[in-house]
Amino acid sequence: MSALYRWLFVAGVLVLLLGLFQKWFQEKWYLTEPLTALALGIAAGPAGLQLLNLPPAADSPRVLTQVSRVTLAVADMGVALRLPRGYPVEHWRSLAVILGAGMVLMGLVSGLLVWSLLGVSFWVAMLVGATVTSTDPIVATTIVTGPVAKRNIPGRLRHFISAESGANDGAVYPLVLLPILVLARPTSEALSRWITYVVGWQVGGAIVLGATLGYAAAGLFQWADLGNVVERQGFVAYTLALTFAVLGGARLLTVDAILASFVAGIAYRMAPGRQQPSTERNVQKAMTKFFVLPTFVLVGVAIPWAGWAALGWRGLLLAVLVLVVRRPPVVVALARWLHPLQTRKDVGFAAWFGPIGVSTLFYAMLAVQRTGSRRIWSIASLLIVASLVAHGLTATPLSKRLPPDPAERR
């Protein structure tokens, strides 16, 4: 019980301090909030003051999976509410390119790097590559929101990165499940189940569930508001309740809960009457911070130092190469089809800022549970921390070097 209260104390103090000094952090402190939370987790964890610890080794993957799933669902709903109304529909071609060819190429490049450097089997390498494919919506949000971002990053670029980061957390699910199935079943059986159950039911069902619940929730809100049947204060945490409803429904139906949450947010925004849901956005933003910062503390506590040591210099080389090769060449190659990226600086910024974070934590823990290989977490956690450091330290300086387009400011 004392361990729980230690977690509550650290999480509460962290959210309080970063909330009070948020503007100062964004303008003066070159470390992003996730990186600051990670550093606190390392300092308070087993490698530091030993104030915080994880559950027994057998339970840790399950705990981390559930915590990261809820965190991603809340964060993706927040991203969906922040986007301009109808943005994914208006820019569906560009999003289809980056979520389709872009994710496949990024996963393949990352997997081949793992395979060539670390000597793991091909499908385990592809699994690790898939877990680090998606752009994390939480770290991306810290880069494209706040006063520094709004002054310096054009709206077209902020919205594109946000939309990609929100959508690809769920869209990468089939890429992660394919190697998991191939490792566990005969190839033909694995492909058949992947097409019918994973793509057909889990992904397709997530889209239908999210769209239905999001649109229905917006309609119910409008009916109650126009009918004056409840007090306005009753709707303050409405979208948070929607997030949990979608998350619970998706888990009961065994569909992709992360994708369903993002789709529900988009459907909620596009429904009639939901023009500028500023209250919902503010509540969702506050709750995202409440969930996100403790999750990054958890990542710091969970770092497998012995596993990192076993990777040696090859692990460090892998981290550098993944940062340099995983995303930048792919975005540059596909830039002509990514219409929101209108200038070379747009392309360069989007190519670099595809951070790895909680989405990788979720999929890595899912992979550990399904395969029993804890080495997957050793590799994935190293790439998470490398990304948090590299992108966290460069976010503010590079944002300030990107001149804004006044016509795109929102």
Listed range (89-98, 170-179, 386-395) with the worst mean pLDDT = 386-395
- DSSP-derived letter for residue 336 is G
**pLDDT at residue 387, as a whole number:** 93
In a domain, 281, yes or no: yes
Query: CA–CA distance from 396 to each of 143, 159, 305, 331 (Å)?
Result: 8, 18, 29, 21
Query: CA–CA distance from 236 to each of 122, 145, 204, 226, 264 (Å)?
Result: 49, 22, 31, 16, 18
In a domain, 20, yes or no: no
In a domain, 334, yes or no: yes
Packing angle of the helix pair 60-82, 358-371 (nearest 10 deg) = 140
Within 8 A by CB and 6+ apart from 173, the residues are 198, 202, 203, 256, 258, 259, 363
Q: Do 238 and 271 contact (CB within 8 A), yes or no?
A: no
Query: CA–CA distance from 184 to each of 28, 259, 379 (Å)?
Result: 49, 24, 21
**pLDDT at residue 263, as a whole number:** 95
126 sits in which H/E element: helix 122-131
In a domain, 271, yes or no: yes
* C-alpha dihedral (323, 328, 331, 335), degrees to nearest 10: 160
Query: Which pLDDT band, with edges at 50, 70 and 90, does 143 fall under?
Result: confident
Residue 18 has pLDDT above 80, yes or no: no
In a domain, 35, yes or no: yes
**pLDDT at residue 281, as a whole number:** 56
Each residue of 85-111: b (16+ CB within 10 Å) or e?
eebbeebeebbebbbeebbebbbbbbb
In a domain, 8, yes or no: no
| Residue range 101-136, pLDDT digits in tens | 999 999 999 999 999 999 899 999 999 999 999 998
**pLDDT at residue 403, as a whole number:** 62
| Residue range 323-332, pLDDT digits in tens | 999 999 999 9
**pLDDT at residue 234, as a whole number:** 55
In a domain, 144, yes or no: no
Residue 336 has pLDDT above 70, yes or no: yes
Q: How many structural domains does the chain have?
A: 1
In a domain, 147, yes or no: no
**pLDDT at residue 331, as a whole number:** 96
Q: Do 180 and 193 contact (CB within 8 A), yes or no?
A: no
CATH number of the CATH domain containing 227: 1.20.1530.20
Q: List the domain range (segments joined by +) for residue 346.
A: 30-136+155-399
d(CA 141, CA 166): 10
d(CA 7, CA 1): 10
**pLDDT at residue 181, as a whole number:** 96
